[in-house]
Amino acid sequence: MTKKRPPWRWYLRRRRKFGLRGKVESYFWIGIGAALGGMARFWLSDVVGAIAGEAFPMGTLVINVLGSFVIGLFATITGPDGRFLVGTLSRQFVMIGICGGFTTFSSFSLQTLNLVNEGAWLYAGLNICASVALCLLAVWIGHAAAVYLNP
């Protein structure tokens, strides 16, 4: 007589094979990427602020445009039709971790609100328009560069 297995047994085998270990590894590498991206953001913001001054949040703008370019380039060049085949974990490390820690939408929002509260409406409007336009342009250029690099 054959022992009847419970219908949910396949789930237990799958969970052991792909479950918690894979998730913990993803969280670990995303966290490392976010830490690296955050440190790069802090450094670059200081450098740009020293060069351009602090009246306009140029550091945040440069960081968001650069991050948009990087995520557009990396997403396309490592996508299903991309030149480089990388695993899901590598894509998560760069796109969620590094780019997520590097780009600063919350900083952008706070700095724009501070400009409005200070009565610098022109700078606030310029920051909004420049950030949206330049980040969209940068992600498009990154995507186009990756399409060009792909065979």
| Domain range annotation of the chain | 30-149
Q: Cβ atoms within 10 A of the Cβ of 57, count?
A: 27
Which two tokens mark 1? 């007589």
DSSP state of 8: T
Residues of the chain with pLDDT under 50: none
Q: What is the pLDDT of residue 94?
A: 94
User: What's the whole-model pTM score?
Assistant: 0.75
pLDDT at site 131: 93
